[in-house]
Amino acid sequence: MIFESISKTEHEEVVFCHNKDAGLKAIIAIHNTVLGPALGGTRMWNYASEQDALNDVLRLSRGMTYKAAVSGLNLGGGKAVIWGDPNKDKSEALFRAFGRFVNSLNGRYITAEDVGIDVNDMEYVYRETEFVTGVHQVHGGSGDPSPFTAFGTLQGLMSSLQVKFGNEDVGKYSYAVQGVGHVGMEFVKLLHERGAKIFVTDINKQAVQRAVDEYGCEAVGLDDIYDVDADVYSPTALGGTVNEATIERLKCKIICGAANNQLATNEIGDEVQRRGILYAPDYAVNAGGLMNVSLEIDGYNRERAMRMLRTIYFNLGRIFEISARDGIPTYMAADRMAEERITAIGKLRLPHLGQHAPRFHGRRAG
């Protein structure tokens, strides 16, 4: 079953990591390294089964390949999941054991933080391997990627506004933001600074209240966000929120947000296109965090990171051009753009085997 799964998804390597003493059960999936070493975060989640964990890491790692490719990065796609409850099962031993497995791949996979993981957990991983991004600034890292992901989302939004309305005036339009976690709150802040009307919802009522108090947002119910008469629907938390149940209710003209896997199915993406809603492909929009941490490989520089994030605007513009040129939905245009780049570079390179591992210039040991 495992070989059948990875054959369908075209993964290069899947590593099962186990350390009984540390309580570690983890999976590292390397999808494609044609463009460079696989970079992708580690997620800690209390999966219902081993199969659920495997399915998740295969899906996420493949998505990272497309995100890196469409963003113009010299990186491949990978991801890791740790099977456990992030509220109860974390320990120094667990993360250091995981770090040793990452190190054993000799740079073919570079990790970072993801759902259930924070910069403090990455500190333990960093003690065992240099192949970690998103480490604290005291080590020469970039720290929390949330502000960069939000700023990149803003660039994607501006590109979408230009195509749909012929201008980039964020403040002229209204936004239904689904999720105000770390990235969502930063995005709301950027919208507020530009004078936008913002509706927000989140399972975390305190976060919603903060958005109301600090940024003048209007709170709506979790299920009511789909009925809001806003120009833009911005999913910034859950995946799959554009689905058969919600598509009939959305009144927006643009879908642009930071969440992963926003379209429940490709068929929904086709329907979005048919309805005249402009969909900004999620992995092109939310690439800011990946772009930011990727710079740690050559030596992190914040000014360089902000300049790189602005390329998201032009990447989205290219996707919209391909969509119009080929008469295909934008989600399909994004895939085509990524696949064309991988194919072109693949004629020049073989998969990254770690012999010339990145050195992370400017890093300082703990």
Sheet holding 278-279, edge to edge: 218-219, 197-201, 174-178, 232-235, 254-255, 278-279
Give the three-class secondary structure for 30: strand
- Supply 336's token pair: 């085509």
Give the three-class secondary structure for 263: strand
- Supply 243's token pair: 């689905």
* Of 25, 79, 90, 253, catalytic: 79
Task: Let me know if 79 is a catalytic residue.
Answer: yes
CA separation, residue 301 to residues 41, 51, 141 (Å): 20, 40, 9
Pairing of β 76-83 and β 24-32: antiparallel
Q: Which one, of 8, 7, 272, lies nearest residue 160 by Cα?
A: 272
Query: Could you give the CA distance from residue 86 to residue 117 in angstroms, rounded to a whole number?
Result: 7
CA separation, residue 299 to residues 137, 352, 360, 361 (Å): 12, 20, 6, 5
Burial of 227 (0-12, 13-18, 19+ CB in 10 A): middle
Q: Helices 92-104 and 119-126: crossing angle, nearest 10°? A: 60
Could you give phi then psi for residue 132, rounded to 5 degrees?
-135, 135
- Supply 317's token pair: 């513009």
Give the three-class secondary structure for 356: coil
Q: Which residues are catalytic?
A: 79
